Amino acid sequence: MNETKITSRQIISLTAGVTTAGSVLVIGALIASTAKQDAWIGSFLAILFGIPVIWVFLFLGRRFPRMTFVEISRELLGKWLGTVVAGSFLFLCLQISFHTPWFMSDFMTSQVMPETPHYVIRALYIAAMSIAILYGLEAFARASEIFMLVVSVLFVFVMVMVIPNAKIENLLPVFENGLIPVLKSSVFVTCFIALPNITMMMVYPARLDDLNKGEKSFLKGYFLGGGITCISILMSVLVLGWAITANSRFSVFRFANLINVGIVFSRIEVIVFVVWVLTQFIFCTIYFYAFVIGLSQLLKLKNHKRLVLPLALILLTMSEVIFPDVAYQEHWAVFTWIPYIFTHGFVLPVFLLMVYWIKKRVLKMDIGDNRGQK
Amino acid sequence: MGILGRVFRRKSKKQIPQSDTHLYRDLLTNITRVKNDFGQSDDLTVNSFKWNDSSPSICASLYIKSLVNTETINSLSEEISNLKIKDNKSRQALPFDVLRAHFSGVRTLKEGDKYIDLYADLLSGNTVFLLHGSRQYLSIPTESTEGRSVEEPSSQTVIRGPKEGFTENINQNILLVRKRIKSNTLRLENLSVGNLTRTAVGLMYIKNIAKDSIVREIRDRIKKIETDSILEGAYIEEWIKDDRYSVFPTFLSSEKPDSVASALLEGKVAIFTDGTPYVLTAPALMVEFLHSSEDYYHHYIIATMMRFLRFIAFFLTLLVPSFYIAIATFHQEILPTPLLVSIAAQREGVPFPTFLEALIMENTFEILREAGIRMPRAIGPAISIVGALVLGQAAVEAGIISAVIVIIVSITAISSFAIPNYEMANAIRATRFAFMILAGVIGIYGIFIGIIVLTLHLCKLKSIGVPYLTPIAPWIKDGNTDTFFRFPFWVMKNRPFGLHGDDKRRIGGEYTVRKNKKGNQEFR
Amino acid sequence: MQDMAVALFVVVFGSILSLIEIPDLLKKKMHRELVAFVVLTVLGMSLALLKAFGWSIPNPSDLLAWVYSPVEGIIKGLLE
């Protein structure tokens, strides 16, 4: 693997992208149906609940700098168990790579352009992802800086524009059903915003110059992404009310429709579309990249770029197979995805952490790097 | 050396055939050899003369008539006749010693004994002296400096600022830049590239400001070029580019000395090529292709406004035709209804789909543009009338195209002229066609994917190892005082763009005129 | 119909890709990459062809749903 270096600022944008994108679609509906009008408190708590998860990532990153997640698991768990665990993680990455082109084609055909054949949309998206990886991680990280800059500006613009339509009474009464629903929903949301950052573990320690700045950047990116999610849920409830939010697939898209500031164009939601496409692109390219790099590390290949194009072909076919229809997808996202990402995003790193502690303290083995140990 | 020496020399003469590469003792053989190698060219002038009556040595002077300056030759012959007269009176000395003593004071005198070097000197416009009995030659520079005089650059005009432009003579170009940077840290390195053309190439940089690694890399790359000809800086650019295939230029070419001087002060390396008025600077960043030297000569707010206009023009020229195609074909609902109705009414009788229409008009405009470059001045106005009236107006009235597309194409064309650098405008032209195809096939989604891929491509490009989109991505902390906004000079404390070597700070002091600190009471 | 188009595209693209890449990999003696490349390309092409001819491809989402089916009840309870 050639020595690509990422600056800490690029870590911010990559993490923010992964955090935001993981949550945009199903989140609004999920959290609003559980916590109702307190959905915004739930999302805010979700950010806080995610902090320990991020801390686990950072801890592992500090102890094993310059190693990706796959390498860490092989180091800690030995060759066989480590490979199995890494393989399972990589399967997760592969699944996500299948999902996003599906989301794209579903969104485009349902909202924007009904007559376009699905595979064209998916093929273009997969082509863009492959090009991103073939150009290398450095180029992609730089591009993500630009994308997040654009996303932030556009997001603020849309949110500010929609303020006139906000009705504060949609937030009342606060805590009508008590704290429990809020807590429940926030745990769910954490699964969408914090845990997907496990994939950043394939990128984060292995490619960074300055680890201290990198840790702060990881957190900054997480807060930025979490902030975007939180504000979008807040505005969604403010403008549409919790009932509509709970029932709509793309709530942010809906309320952007309501912007009426006398501008000429009537489809301002194109801006929301742009925000969504860009963050999704960062998200799925990171996952695809994680899969390619992980696979080539497991197979001990020297050049990971050779695998990209054959994998793209597989992606093209499989991204149509995974979700037969929308109802299946919505059911799957709640009942299967949440435990899936929970096992891999939380249980797995904690497990690795415990193995590390056992090996270090109990067995007194000398593993890992002790830099920064307080 | 003595007898032994002569014996050894004779032996070595037999072993190594030196006759092919080194001069003979015999003057006539040398001259015949030179004349044969040049194919009895009429250009080659050979004059033999006796040094003086007392010394039996015959000298010959050779030069290529078309390459030398007649005045210099005349003054040279005067000097030599004076020398001959002087030498006649004093003790006998070898003619070459006399010449050496006279010329080596201030003028460059070269000596050698190989034919290859002799030819190189002859072809550079030097005068070469041969002496019967000596295996060496002397050469004195006498080259002519015929060429264009310094005039306003044809391609980069400014409203305010110096109107000097480079010429085809490399020495004159170096002079123009040296005049502006009077520092001993300004270094110049001369290289000669191209087997047949032996073009003189000059590398210029400021010692502590330019990064050493960048200078070294450029020097190594140029030295590795092996080709027949270097006729323009573009040849060098193609040979040493980082990315072989991308249309986007990674070297900034300029015809104005003040642009090159300011680039040198930012830490870049300038590459002068003999025979062309375009000087390359490397590394070049994408934002620089949208900057003009005028930005620094106007007020900073005005300059910032003009920069924004240029950035907007950049996006317009890239995306307007594709957006029109996408909206008119796939997404008509985006437009407000009155506009939509009028566009639909105009497109009523047009036989082509929007995509084809746009393609036809764009191609027609490109043909007009190409024709405009080559046409003689006399017919110029006629062609613009033809273009405007016939193609635009008449075609619309005949119903072949709609009026909207003429507007679109004009906006695109005019915006492309707002981009200061011609290479970049061409790159955008090429990319624009790709976007139009994407828009025609898939609409707005295609344009977005295209923008994403374009951004990725630009992020991947590097110019001598420096990422193309610095200082935006990677974001340099204080390096953005000169990208989108032109901050006033007292704000630009460090050299911009993060390219510099050791010497970071540009200014020592602050804004010199502060309200309370003005010297005289009445100026407060 | 769409599946046929996809399959055709995948086969054509896969073949062109193999024609370009395989000699290159052989020349550079990257045997591990060659094996992985061939396996993946064959897998990709066969998946596309299978789908085009109507065979149903095992859905990994089904697999995961089955793996996590015991947890479904818990989540449902939590969501109430």
Range of the domain at C41: 2-79
Contact A318/C57, CB-based, under 8 Å? yes
Chains contacting chain C through 3 or more C-beta pairs under 8 A: A
Tally of structural domains, chain C? 1
The stretch C20-33 carries a mean pLDDT of 84
* Most confident of the following: B316-330, B334-348, B464-478: B316-330
Residues of A in contact with B445 (CB under 8 A): 108, 112-113, 116, 121, 124
Distance, in Å, from the CA atom of A26 to the CA atom of A32, rounded to the nearest integer, reads 10
Whether residue C7 is predicted with pLDDT greater than 80 in this model: the reply is yes
> Do the beta carbons of residue B215 and residue B269 sit within 8 Å?
yes
Phi and psi torsions of B402, nearest 5°: -95, 160
Contact C65/A119, CB-based, under 8 Å? no
pLDDT at B524: 60
pLDDT at A325: 81
Phi and psi torsions of B255, nearest 5°: -105, 0
Instruction: State both tokens at B52.
Output: 């003086």
The stretch B299-326 carries a mean pLDDT of 91
pLDDT at B314: 93
Residues 6+ apart with CB under 8 A from A290: A69, A90, A93, A199, A202, A203
Contact C43/A321, CB-based, under 8 Å? no
C19 touching chain A per CB within 8 A = no
Residues of A in contact with C21 (CB under 8 A): 306, 309
Whether residue C2 is predicted with pLDDT greater than 90 in this model: the reply is no
- The chain C residue lying nearest A319, using CA atoms, is C59
| Residues of chain A scoring pLDDT < 50 | 1-2, 262, 264, 371-374
- The chain A residue lying nearest C33, using CA atoms, is A301
CA distance A139 to chain B (A): 5
Distance, in Å, from the CA atom of B70 to the CA atom of B144, rounded to the nearest integer, reads 8
The stretch B76-86 carries a mean pLDDT of 81
CA distance C37 to chain A (A): 6
* Most confident of the following: A350-364, B380-394, C14-28: C14-28
**A–C contact (≥3 CB pairs within 8 Å)?**
yes
pLDDT at B507: 61
CB within 8 Å of chain A, chain C residues 38-77:
40-41, 43-45, 47-48, 51, 57, 59-61, 64-65, 68, 71-72, 75-76
CB pairs under 8 A between A and B: 89
CA distance A292 to chain B (A): 18
Contact C60/A318, CB-based, under 8 Å? yes
CA distance A216 to chain C (A): 34
pLDDT at A125: 92
Contact A113/B459, CB-based, under 8 Å? no
What's the pTM?
A: 0.88
pLDDT at B16: 39
- Reported for A209-217, long-range contacts at CB under 8 A and 24+ positions apart, including other chains, are A209/A5, A209/A7, A209/A8, A210/A8, A211/A61, A211/A62, A211/A65, A211/A371, A211/A372, A212/A372, A213/A8, A214/A8, A214/A11, A214/A61, A215/A58, A215/A61, A215/A62, A216/A8, A217/A8, A217/A9, A217/A11, A217/A12, A217/A15
Q: What is the mean pLDDT of chain B?
A: 83
The stretch B128-134 carries a mean pLDDT of 84
pLDDT at B99: 78
Residues of A in contact with B473 (CB under 8 A): 10, 142-143, 145-146
Whether residue C65 is predicted with pLDDT greater than 50 in this model: the reply is yes
For B362, the enclosing helix (H) or strand (E) is helix B354-374
pLDDT at A374: 36
For chain A, give every domain's residue range. 8-362
CA distance A373 to chain C (A): 38
pLDDT at B508: 57
For B203, the enclosing helix (H) or strand (E) is strand B199-206
For testing contact with chain C, the best of A309, A334, A337, A338 (most C CBs within 10 A):
A309
**Diameter of chain C by CA atoms?**
62
> Do the beta carbons of residue A204 and residue A8 sit within 8 Å?
no
pLDDT at A365: 64
pLDDT at A356: 84
Chains contacting chain B through 3 or more C-beta pairs under 8 A: A
Lowest-confidence segment of B2-16, B392-406, B412-426 by average pLDDT: B2-16
| Of B508 and A334, the one with more pLDDT | A334
ipTM of the prediction: 0.89
pLDDT at B15: 41
Q: What Cα–Cα distance (Å) separates residue A40 from each residue in A31, B40, B112?
A: 9, 93, 87
Distance, in Å, from the CA atom of B488 to the CA atom of B511, rounded to the nearest integer, reads 10
Contact C47/A320, CB-based, under 8 Å? no
| Of A330 and B294, the one with more pLDDT | B294
- The chain C residue lying nearest A34, using CA atoms, is C79
pLDDT at B260: 93
Partner residue opposite B456 with nearest CB, options A112, A140, A267: A140
For B453, the enclosing helix (H) or strand (E) is helix B444-460
HEC profile for A112-169?
HCCCCCHHHHHHHHHHHHHHHHHCCHHHHHHHHHHHHHHHHHHHHHHHHHHHHHCCHH
CATH dotted code for A8-362 = 1.20.1740.10
pLDDT at A371: 46
Q: In this predicted model, what pLDDT tens digit does every residue of B269-286 receive, in sequence order? A: 999 999 999 999 988 888
| Of B91 and B316, the one with more pLDDT | B316
CA distance A314 to chain C (A): 4
Partner residue opposite A125 with nearest CB, options B334, B449, B455: B449
Distance, in Å, from the CA atom of B433 to the CA atom of B362, rounded to the nearest integer, reads 9
Residues 6+ apart with CB under 8 A from C1: none
Question: Tokens 């290159």 sit at which residue?
Answer: C24
Q: In this predicted model, what pLDDT tens digit does every residue of B93-104 receive, in sequence order? A: 677 777 777 777
Contact B474/A142, CB-based, under 8 Å? yes
| Of B381 and B92, the one with more pLDDT | B381
H-helix segments, A163-268: 179-193, 200-203, 211-247, 251-256
Lowest-confidence segment of B1-5, B368-372, C37-41 by average pLDDT: B1-5
Angle (CA) A115 A120 A123, round 5°: 155
Edge-to-edge strand order for the sheet containing B58-64? B44-50, B58-64, B126-131, B137-141, B110-112
